[in-house]
């Protein structure tokens, strides 16, 4: 592969209009929230943002990519992207706190629509999914891994546990309920998950 492909003609990022970028993010998020992902169109985003279509096509390869960036930007603005998991010495309490917060976020209508849109697209589009995981999901899961490592050092965790798998034991079920809307997603559910996962389902010896 050649970096200077004829038809890849990377545009000059230095000249990029910050104004347009922001307007596109705002329009994209608004439309996805209002109409859903499928009914959100690039034409619609451009029109709403007061921007030429080409300005979108110049900088993003697909509708999904625009949405992903818009969503990342939304996170960065909130500066809550790195809300470190607290370490009070009580692992169960700390995890419940974070999972409850996650439940609240997944339930928040403002976040839910675009998140669902992106997730659904990721399920079906591996390339987008990789971006999504790399830039949004993994950084977030890493916080859990870190907390678990600290817990292991403090003797709050059985030694030899694969931290990554452990994290999925909490996050997996939560995501499952949210995605497939099987049953209500509540704080109680989050608490129960923590209790079950930490304590185990088998009878204590």
List residues binding a copy of itself (CB under 8 A).
36-38, 116-117, 119-126, 129-130, 132-133, 137-138, 141, 155-159, 161-162, 164-166, 168-169, 171-177, 179-183, 189, 192-193, 196-205
| DSSP conformation class of 202 | S
Question: Tokens 């370490």 belong to which residue?
Answer: 87
Question: Which lies closer to a copy of itself via its Cβ, residue 83 or residue 196?
Answer: 196
Q: Between 57 and 86, how does the x/- string for binding to DNA read (CB under 7 A)?
A: xxx--xx-----------------------
- Regarding 20 and contact with DNA (CB under 7 A), the answer is yes
| DSSP conformation class of 159 | T
- Regarding 41 and contact with DNA (CB under 7 A), the answer is yes
Cα separation of 105 and 112, whole Å? 8
Residue 62's binding partner out of a copy of itself, DNA, none, with CB under 5 to 8 Å set by partner kind: DNA
The tokens for 78 are: 């909130």
Residue 187's binding partner out of a copy of itself, DNA, none, with CB under 5 to 8 Å set by partner kind: none
Residue 156's binding partner out of a copy of itself, DNA, none, with CB under 5 to 8 Å set by partner kind: a copy of itself
Give the list of residues 6+ apart from residue 91 with CB closer than 8 angstroms, or none.
147, 148, 151, 154, 156, 157, 198
Q: Nearest 5°: phi and psi at 91?
A: -55, -50
Cα separation of 197 and 119, whole Å? 25
């Amino acid at each position: 592969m050649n970096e200077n492909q004829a038809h890849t003609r990377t545009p000059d990022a230095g000249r990029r209009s910050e104004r347009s970028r922001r307007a596109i993010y705002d329009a994209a998020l608004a439309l996805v929230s209002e109409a859903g992902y499928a009914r959100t169109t690039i034409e619609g985003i451009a029109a709403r943002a007061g921007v030429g279509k080409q300005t979108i096509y110049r900088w993003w390869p697909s509708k999904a990519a625009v949405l992903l960036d818009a969503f990342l930007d939304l996170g960065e603005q909130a500066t809550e992207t790195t809300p470190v998991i607290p370490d009070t010495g009580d692992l169960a309490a700390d995890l419940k706190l974070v999972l409850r917060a996650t439940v609240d976020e997944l339930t928040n209508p403002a976040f839910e629509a675009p998140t669902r849109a992106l997730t659904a697209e990721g399920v079906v589009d591996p390339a987008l999914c990789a971006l999504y995981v790399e830039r949004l999901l993994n950084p977030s899961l890493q916080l859990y891994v870190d907390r678990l490592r600290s817990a292991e050092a403090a003797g709050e965790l059985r030694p030899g546990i694969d931290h990554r798998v452990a994290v999925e034991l909490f996050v997996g079920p939560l995501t499952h309920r949210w995605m497939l809307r099987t049953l209500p997603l509540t704080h109680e559910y989050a608490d129960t998950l923590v209790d079950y996962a930490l304590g185990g389902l088998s009878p204590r010896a």
